């Protein structure tokens, strides 16, 4: 057993009150990040990945969002019960987030320098620094993300930069204060494949250097395989499977994980599979029991009635599926 985890989410439920009912988006999320770990979170669009991450930082708009139950512990403290000052500390020194679309994440009317300096000031509340010192502190992260000519970069506006450079600026902003946990929400998705590769390698290097823990959110399985040590597979508001990365790719257990893996076109050829039939359920009226059962080839009658708990198949591999209720012994192979 590890020491107390850096981040622990316990049975988190998030609902959105909208016209016409309540969207029950998160339905009991359990998620743990150990210190120094690189954790991947995969799932289809709309499965609740970003909602989970936003609830950690408490940046979900409330209302319409509402958290009826659940706990989020960061270094032993419940984020959901924090006061303003404690929350500010978490946001400025503990956790930072990189968003999917760097163009939308940066303010177009302020220069890169103004935006970076604002972050520097925010993270140093209480300490008085001269403008020159703030500027000097803002340059350091720009150098770390290997942006050419960081001096000039401070005076340029986001529109003058390419997509890859903008994402580097966002990473620089996330690294201004020394952080313990970095949440990267699809950091390469809006970029070209060669640029995505550069950004992921950059993230990897910085994470190793600074010993930061990372949560990498993506819907590309290949990215997860190459950059993380542990993977959570999420479906419709709860975790379907969690395992060490290597194990998950060699031995996926949940039918949903199987479907996802089979749907990825391979470089080795062999055609394209049919994917997973159906789509993510309507959160206004999610199916009872296991939310995956309408799309599952292996659905049994119990799946329609009860939500599967996590079955622990080994120290590092857990799966929420009734196919494995006898511990994986005697189950048919998928």
Q: Is 197 in the site for another protein (CB under 8 A)?
A: yes
Closer to another protein at the Cβ: 1 or 250?
250
C-beta separation of 94 from 56 below 8 A: no
> Dihedrals φ, ψ of 42, to 5°?
-115, 155
306 strand-pairing partners: none
Annotate each residue in 272-291 with x if it binds another protein (CB under 8 A) or - if it does not, as one string. xxxxxx-x------------
Q: What's the N-to-C CA distance of the chain in angstroms?
A: 31
Total residues contacting another protein (rule CB under 8 A)?
43
Prior bond to 296 cis, omega within 30?
no
Position 221 contacts another protein (CB under 8 A): yes
78-86, 103-111, 173-181, 222-230 -> range binding another protein (CB under 8 A): 222-230
CB 123 to another protein: min, Å:
29
Could you say which of 265, 288, 309, 327 contacts another protein (CB under 8 A)? 265
Q: What is the C-alpha to C-alpha distance for residues 57 and 65, in angstroms, rounded to an integer?
A: 14
**Region of 86-94, 151-159, 269-277, 321-329 interacting with another protein (CB under 8 A):** 269-277
Between 213 and 218, CB nearer to another protein:
218
Nearer to another protein, 44 or 71 (CB): 44
Rounded CA separation 40/124 (Å): 30
Residue 92 C-beta: closest distance to another protein, Å: 31
What is the smallest separation between the CB atom of 153 and another protein, expressed in angstroms? 14
CA distances from residue 244 to 9, 56, 233 in whole angstroms, order as listed:
18, 23, 11
The site map against another protein for 243-262 (x = CB under 8 A) is ------x---------xxxx
- Please report which helix (H) or strand (E) contains residue 122, including its range: helix 112-123
Binding mask 61-100 for another protein (x = CB under 8 A): ----------------------------------------
Q: Where are the strands (E) in the chain, listed by range?
A: 7-18, 21-33, 38-42, 65-74, 77-78, 95-98, 181-185, 213-218, 230-235, 238-244, 311-312, 318-319
- Tell me the CA distances in angstroms from 84 to 51, 73, 88, 91, one per residue in order: 21, 16, 6, 10
Would you tell me which residues interact with another protein (CB under 8 A)? 44-45, 162-165, 192-198, 200-201, 219-223, 225-226, 249, 259-277, 279
């Amino acid at each position: 057993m590890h020491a107390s985890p850096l981040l622990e989410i316990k049975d988190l439920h998030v609902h959105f009150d909208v016209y016409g009912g309540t969207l029950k988006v998160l339905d009991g999320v359990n998620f743990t990040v150990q210190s120094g770990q690189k954790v991947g979170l995969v799932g289809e669009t709309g499965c609740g990945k970003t909602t989970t991450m936003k609830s950690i930082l408490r940046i979900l708009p409330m209302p319409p969002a509402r958290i009826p139950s659940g706990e989020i512990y960061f270094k032993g403290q419940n984020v959901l019960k924090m006061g303003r000052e404690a929350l500010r500390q978490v946001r400025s020194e503990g956790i930072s987030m990189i968003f999917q679309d760097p163009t939308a994440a940066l303010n177009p009317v302020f220069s890169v320098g103004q935006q970076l300096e604002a972050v520097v000031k925010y993270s140093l509340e209480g300490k008085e620094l001269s403008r020159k010192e703030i500027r000097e502190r803002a340059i350091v992260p720009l150098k770390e993300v290997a942006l050419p000519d960081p001096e000039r970069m401070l005076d340029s506006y986001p529109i003058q930069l390419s997509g890859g450079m903008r994402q580097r600026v966002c990473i620089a902003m996330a690294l201004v204060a020394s952080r313990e946990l970095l949440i990267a929400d699809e950091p390469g998705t809006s970029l070209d494949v060669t640029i995505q590769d550069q950004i992921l390698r950059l993230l990897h290097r910085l994470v190793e250097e600074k010993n930061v823990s990372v949560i990498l959110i993506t819907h590309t399985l290949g990215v997860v395989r190459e950059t993380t040590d542990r993977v959570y597979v999420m479906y419709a508001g709860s975790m379907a499977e969690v395992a060490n990365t290597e194990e998950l790719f060699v031995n996926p257990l949940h039918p949903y994980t199987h479907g996802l893996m089979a749907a990825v076109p391979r470089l080795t050829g062999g055609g394209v599979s049919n994917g997973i039939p159906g789509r993510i359920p309507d959160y206004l009226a999610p199916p009872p029991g296991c939310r995956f059962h309408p799309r599952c080839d292996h659905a049994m009658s119990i799946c329609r009635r009860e939500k599967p708990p996590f079955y622990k198949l080994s120290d590092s591999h857990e799966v929420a599926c009734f196919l494995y209720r006898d511990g994986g012994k005697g189950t048919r192979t998928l």
